[in-house]
């Protein structure tokens, strides 16, 4: 009979798409999900023959590169678990930094805000729960993503009004906003070859990719509509592709926004653009 430590190592070795540390973290997550396992159990005996069949099925899915979040149906974000599906992006650490910045910079009560391209709803739900009595709206083009976002809002007790909107052709039916935030698709098609296949093969292209010919289309459209939606003095927050910091800043400045700045994430990469209407 093996210990959990031995089993953890041997299962992690089967996940060849990941480095050793990440693979062991993923297997730990799988053990916790199916077995109620904790790291304090590392030296305990692990009888693989007694494991439920589903955990072996899920290991097979992991070996194909499918993200653990899709397999167990949830992922962590800003201290809470969010439901995810293949119709939504998996929430990222960089987006937590965006949420934290908005909370820190906007302590005033009763602010009205809109998230464009909401996916799981992790941004507006986190803001609804962490800010001081905000009025929160969120839109997405995908009905499947909106269903997940509403499920998350209900599960976490957040008051967010979700609605369908194609931001490229429609204007959200909210106005006089204090805050407009968006983490839109920002990866040019030509960068697919640089991406991990776990993302490329499983996460929704609709939420990831833009054409090589116009990689800033969502920033231009959203900032332009932000001029109509934001009240004077309102703030615009974008998560951006690290390669386009200067370009997004220039675009936003050209549209008449002030106090435009680009901020780096914890890895030192250009990641957030902030501006004032």
> Which residue has better confidence, 85 or 38?
85
Q: Tell me, what CATH number does 143's domain have?
A: 3.40.50.150
Q: pLDDT grade, residue 1 (50/70/90)?
A: low
User: Within this chain, do residues 253 and 119 fall inside the same structural domain, yes or no?
Assistant: yes
178 phi and psi, to 5 degrees?
A: -90, -30
The pLDDT value recorded for residue 154 is: 98
The pLDDT value recorded for residue 33 is: 92
User: Within this chain, do residues 41 and 168 fall inside the same structural domain, yes or no?
Assistant: no
User: Within this chain, do residues 49 and 180 fall inside the same structural domain, yes or no?
Assistant: no
pLDDT, tens digit, 9 for 90 and up, residues 39-64:
777 777 878 888 899 999 999 999 99
Name the nearest CA neighbour of 112 among 234, 273, 225: 234
178 contacts: CB under 8 Å, gap ≥ 6:
106, 108, 111, 112, 113, 230, 231, 234, 235
The pLDDT value recorded for residue 213 is: 75
Q: pLDDT grade, residue 19 (50/70/90)?
A: confident
Q: Is the pLDDT of residue 212 over 80?
A: no
Residue 70 lies in a domain: no
The pLDDT value recorded for residue 195 is: 67
User: Within this chain, do residues 17 and 120 fall inside the same structural domain, yes or no?
Assistant: no
When pLDDT is averaged across residues 168-192 and rounded to a whole number, the result is 87
Residue 12 lies in a domain: yes
User: Within this chain, do residues 196 and 268 fall inside the same structural domain, yes or no?
Assistant: yes
When pLDDT is averaged across residues 251-256 and rounded to a whole number, the result is 95
pLDDT, tens digit, 9 for 90 and up, residues 74-125:
999 999 999 999 999 999 999 999 999 999 999 999 999 999 999 999 999 9
User: Within this chain, do residues 37 and 110 fall inside the same structural domain, yes or no?
Assistant: no
Number of folded domains that form the chain: 2
The percent helix, strand, coil of the chain (3-state, each to 5) is 45, 20, 30
Q: pLDDT grade, residue 185 (50/70/90)?
A: confident
* Whether the Cβ atoms of residue 100 and residue 235 lie closer than 8 Å to each other: no
User: Within this chain, do residues 42 and 114 fall inside the same structural domain, yes or no?
Assistant: no
Residue 258 lies in a domain: yes
* Residue 155: count of CB within 10 angstroms of its CB: 14
The pLDDT value recorded for residue 7 is: 86
Name the nearest CA neighbour of 197 among 11, 64, 92: 64
DSSP H or E stretch at residue 275: strand 270-276
Q: pLDDT grade, residue 187 (50/70/90)?
A: confident
Task: Please give the torsion angle defined by the CA atoms of residues 277, 186, 85 and 140, in that order, rounded to the nearest 10 degrees.
Answer: 40
Q: Helices 245-254 and 217-229 sit at what angle, rounded to 10 degrees?
A: 40
Residue 175 lies in a domain: yes
Give the separation between CA 122 and CA 140, rounded to whole angstroms. 13
Residue 150 lies in a domain: yes
Residue 131 lies in a domain: yes
* Cα four-point dihedral sign 137, 264, 260, 191: negative
> Which residue has better confidence, 235 or 40?
235
Identify any residues that bridge with 76 across adjacent strands, giving them in sequence order.
Answer: 81
Residue 73 lies in a domain: no
- Residue span of the structural domain in which 20 resides: 2-65
Q: Is the pLDDT of residue 20 over 70?
A: yes
């Amino acid at each position: 009979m093996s210990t959990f430590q031995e089993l953890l190592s041997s299962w992690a070795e089967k996940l060849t798409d990941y480095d050793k540390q990440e693979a062991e973290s993923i297997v730990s997550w799988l053990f916790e999900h199916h077995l109620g396992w904790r790291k304090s159990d590392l030296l305990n005996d692990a009888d693989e023959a007694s494991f439920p069949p589903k955990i072996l099925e899920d290991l097979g899915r992991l070996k194909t590169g499918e993200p653990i979040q899709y397999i167990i149906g949830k992922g962590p974000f800003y201290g809470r678990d969010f439901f995810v599906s293949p119709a939504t992006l998996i929430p990222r650490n960089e987006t937590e930094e965006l949420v934290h910045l908005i909370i820190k910079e906007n302590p005033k009560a009763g602010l009205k805000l809109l998230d464009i391209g909401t996916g799981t709803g992790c941004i507006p739900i986190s803001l609804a729960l962490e800010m001081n009595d905000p009025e929160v709206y969120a839109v997405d083009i995908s009905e499947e993503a909106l269903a997940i976002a509403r499920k998350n809002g209900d599960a976490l007790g957040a008051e967010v009004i979700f609605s369908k909107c194609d931001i490229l052709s429609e204007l959200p039916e909210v106005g006089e906003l204090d805050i407009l935030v968006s983490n839109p698709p920002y990866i040019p098609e030509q960068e697919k070859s640089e991406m991990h296949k776990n993302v490329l093969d499983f996460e929704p292209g609709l939420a990831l990719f833009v054409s090589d010919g116009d990689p800033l289309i969502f920033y231009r459209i959203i900032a332009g509509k932000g001029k109509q939606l934001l009240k004077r003095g309102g703030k615009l927050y974008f998560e951006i592709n690290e390669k386009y910091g200067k370009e997004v800043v220039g675009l936003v400045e050209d549209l008449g926004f002030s106090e435009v700045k680009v901020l780096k994430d914890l890895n030192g990469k250009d990641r957030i653009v902030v501006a004032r209407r």
